[in-house]
């Protein structure tokens, strides 16, 4: 597949998602967030590529990676096209200096269902049923590693959590699952919405983006996010703006999930 053809798949998928949101339907975006929860190492474009070509994919990797894991792609299986970053030499037209620039080519991955061989002992991160377990402590450690203070309060004026820029306040009466979801939401604000370039985003978009990150992180560790965001609100009228939101969500969710999983997924980040 040519890079232009792969780009057309991604662009078409984003446009279709935008059209559904414009019609007031958020089911497609929820499906996308579910896919992101399974493939947090991958860029938002590649998550869209995987979802478009194989919606039921649960774990993907390249041919050589599966071979290293003693699994082999079944004969006749068609690969899932994704964008692979590469660095190539290019000459600066102004200075005439040669330098390396980032480009993308088409690569292929295969879902585990397309392979056969040895079972994977670390197929999924440890999951809990309605309780985040050790993941809550890991999330707290991640917050501390970002030099963000975490405080608990008996009353936050009706809120369950508040992001204050370098400090997060959490209601002390929350259950572990609620605390995990709220903390994921607030750390998302800290990562995505504190720079000057975010001043143009509305409060509604910021809240929806943060809730989307919380949804992805909660889904990935096997608990239901208590939030009830209307993801249609993220859409502001054009596919480019939607793409910018999806990229912010993916980057924030990936950072949190990388800390939680400690790279146990053993996949190829793209």
Q: Could you give the CA distance from residue 146 to residue 194 in angstroms, rounded to a whole number?
A: 13
Is residue 33 situated within a structural domain? yes
Q: In the chain, which stretches have pLDDT less than 70?
A: 121-129, 196-198, 225-229, 232, 262-270
Please report whether residue 266 resides in a domain. Answer: no
Which pLDDT score is estimated for 197? 60
Neighbours of 66 (CB within 10 A): 22
d(CA 227, CA 137): 21
The angle formed by the CA atoms of residues 192, 251 and 49, to the nearest 5 degrees, is 135
Please give the distance of CA 97 from its chain centroid, rounded to a whole number. Answer: 37
Q: How far apart are the first and last CA of the chain?
A: 17
Domain assignment present for 110: yes
Distance CA 208, CA 117 (A): 42
184 found inside a domain: yes
- So what's the pLDDT on residue 266? 41
Q: Which domain holds residue 23?
A: 3-261
> 135 - beta bridge partners?
none
**Residue 267: what pLDDT?**
43
Total structural domains within the chain? 1
CB atoms within 10 A of CB 53: 18
Backbone angles phi, psi at 12, to 5 degrees: -65, -40
**Inside any domain, residue 219:** yes
Phi, psi of 31 (to 5 degrees): -65, -40
Residue 145 lies in a domain: yes
């Amino acid at each position: 597949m040519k890079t232009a053809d792969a780009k057309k798949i991604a662009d078409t998928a984003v446009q279709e998602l935008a059209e559904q949101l414009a019609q007031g339907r958020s089911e497609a975006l929820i499906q996308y967030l579910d896919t992101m929860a399974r493939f947090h190492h991958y860029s938002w474009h590649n998550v869209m590529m995987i979802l478009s070509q194989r919606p039921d994919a649960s774990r993907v990797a390249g041919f050589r990676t599966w071979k290293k894991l003693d699994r082999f792609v079944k004969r006749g299986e068609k690969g899932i096209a994704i964008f692979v970053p590469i660095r190539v030499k290019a000459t600066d037209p102004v200075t005439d200096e040669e330098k390396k620039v980032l480009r993308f080519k088409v690569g292929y991955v295969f879902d585990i269902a397309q392979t056969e061989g040895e079972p994977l002992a670390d197929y999924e991160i440890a999951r809990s049923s309605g309780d985040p377990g050790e993941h809550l402590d890991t999330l707290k450690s991640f917050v501390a590693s970002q030099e963000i203070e975490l405080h608990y309060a008996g009353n936050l004026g009706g809120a369950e959590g508040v992001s204050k820029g370098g400090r997060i306040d959490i209601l002390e009466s929350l259950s572990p699952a609620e605390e995990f979801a709220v903390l994921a939401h607030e750390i998302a604000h800290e990562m995505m919405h504190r720079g000057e370039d975010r001043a143009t985003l509305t409060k509604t978009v910021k809240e929806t983006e943060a809730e989307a990150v919380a949804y992805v992180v909660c889904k990935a560790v096997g608990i239901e996010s208590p939030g009830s965001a209307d993801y249609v609100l993220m859409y502001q009228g054009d596919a480019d703006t939607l793409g910018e939101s999806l990229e912010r969500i993916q980057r924030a969710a990936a950072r949190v999930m990388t800390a939680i999983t400690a790279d146990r997924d053993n996949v190829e980040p793209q």
